[in-house]
Structure formats: C-alpha cells, structure tokens
Amino acid sequence: MPSLDIVVWSELPPGAGLGSSAAYNVCLAAALLTVCEEIANPLKDGEPVSRWTAEDLELINKWAFQGEKVIHGNPSGVDNAVSTWGGALRYQQGKISPLKSPPALKILLTNTKVPRSTKTLMARVQNRMLKFPEIMASLLTSIDAISVECERVLGEMAAAAPAPEHYLVLEELIDMNQHHLNALGVGHASLDQLCQVAMAHGLHSKLTGAGGGGCGITLLRPDLEGSEVEATKQALTSYGFDCWETCIGAPGVSIHSAASLDVAVRQALDGL
C-alpha cells in the first residue's frame, strides 16, 4: 500500500461510552480494505450512499475487532458488530445475533462529560466477581432476565403498533437494569444525577456503554409533548451535561459520495 493520509472526523465524544473507538475501527477497516482492493467499492456512479456485501461486512468486522482489542484489551465485540451491521443486536454467552426489525425508539442521549476507561471498569467488575462470586452471579442472571424480557417487548412492538403499555414495561426494565448496573460497580454519581433529573420530569434513564460516567439514555414516550422534552433537556444541561435527541437503531457502516454529505460535515472535513 502506498503512503497515505487518513482524515478522521467524528461527532461522537471519545471516552463517553458511545462506542466511538468501535466506530473509528470499523470505518478505518472498511476504508483500508477498500483501498487495498481486498473488498470491492460498492458505491456506483451517481449513488449518494452504499453498503458492502454481507461477506465484506464480515471481513470489516473481523479487522475492526482486532483494533478494539488493541484499545480495550478484552472487548466483547458488541460495539464493532453494531457499528458494522447497524440496527440492534443480541449478545449472549459470547454470541452476537441481530434482532429482526427492532422498533424505532426515541431517546435523549446525555453526556455527563465524566471521562471513563472501559478497561478500568472491566477490571473493577472482575474484582467484584472474585470477591463476591455468588452475589455477582445472581446480579448477572437478573440482568440477563431483564434483557430477555426487553427483547420480548421489543418483538411485540415490532410485530404490531406499539402500545402505551409497552413503554411502561420498558421504563420499569430500564429502572431495574440501572439499579443492577450500580450494584455491579459501574455506576457514578453523575449518572445518578442524570437519572434523578429525568425522573423529576417523569422519564426513565440508565447508563449506556461501560458506565463510570460517560453517557446515559432516557426513553422518550411517543405521547410526550415537545415542551416536556425541552424542559428535560434544559434541566440536564443546567448540570453541565450535553444532551441530544436521537433514535436507537441506524444503518451500519456505509460509504458516501462527497456530494451527499451534510454541509456541516463537508465544512468540518475541509477545515482539517
């Protein structure tokens, strides 16, 4: 391969539990494999965006996982897999499989701006596993049961029109999951503050990523008024947090034509 310059631009804050390292590794693997002609460039003339074949995505994911190992030591592979394939994935006993047609869920994504290290947090959990094996095993079993129930509810929501009852169950599961994660040792005072502020506005939140700071997500029910969402965002930002409205689930790694990029993205890249 000839020498080359690689320009990286991201809206994802690093070290916040949003999988920024996985997104970086997936994009880097896809770009290098395409430049080396190990995989074909799927973008045709006149197309704004395209994706690689399933076989090529497998290779991209494989190399991205190697990059994640360099950064995190012993990662699960979930972050690079979801960055590659998009949508929603099930991770169980080391096996990763996609969820079929997950419903679009609106959330608030809040960055506490408290830096954390996935490797450090994983070591903390491992230490508790050695110190309290029976307690930690019970916690992990309960978290698994919460995940299974959540998947069942999401399946119902995907099969038919989501009902208010579905959101009520998801809110309960979010609360239970957050309490369990605190017990595992991956919580943080900033995340507790996030949950308390959201709860004061009738909303339910949990950490995302490795925890220990970083980011949390808040479920937005479809019956919420825009003013209620704005009031919650203002309350969260008053504590110094950054807050965005977004959706869970998106396409995985893609290749875009330069003309298809948003103006803000093109301006940012031009400035590098």
Q: Alpha-carbon distance 6 to 29, whole Å?
A: 12
- Maximum separation of any 2 CA atoms in the chain, in Å: 59
Give pLDDT tens digits along the chain (272 positions). Answer: 678 888 888 888 777 778 889 999 999 999 999 999 999 999 998 899 999 999 999 999 999 999 999 988 888 899 999 999 998 888 887 788 888 878 889 999 999 999 877 778 888 999 999 999 999 999 999 999 999 999 999 999 988 888 999 999 999 999 999 999 999 999 999 999 999 999 999 999 999 887 899 899 999 999 999 999 999 999 999 999 999 999 887 889 999 998 888 887 787 777 65
Give the whole-number percent of the chain exceeding pLDDT 90: 67
* Angle value at C-alpha 185, between 183 and 15, nearest 5 degrees: 135
State how beta strands 89-92 and 95-98 pair: antiparallel
Average pLDDT, the chain: 91
User: Contact, 272 vs 258, CB < 8 A?
Assistant: no
User: Contact, 244 vs 105, CB < 8 A?
Assistant: no
Of 5, 10, 20, 21, the active-site residue reads 21
* Angle value at C-alpha 186, between 183 and 188, nearest 5 degrees: 100
Residue with token string 């605190």: 182
262 belongs to the catalytic site = no
* pLDDT tens-digit map of 21-58: 999 999 999 999 999 999 999 999 889 999 999 999 99
97 belongs to the catalytic site = no
AA identity, residue 9: W
Of 20, 79, 83, 205, the active-site residue reads 79
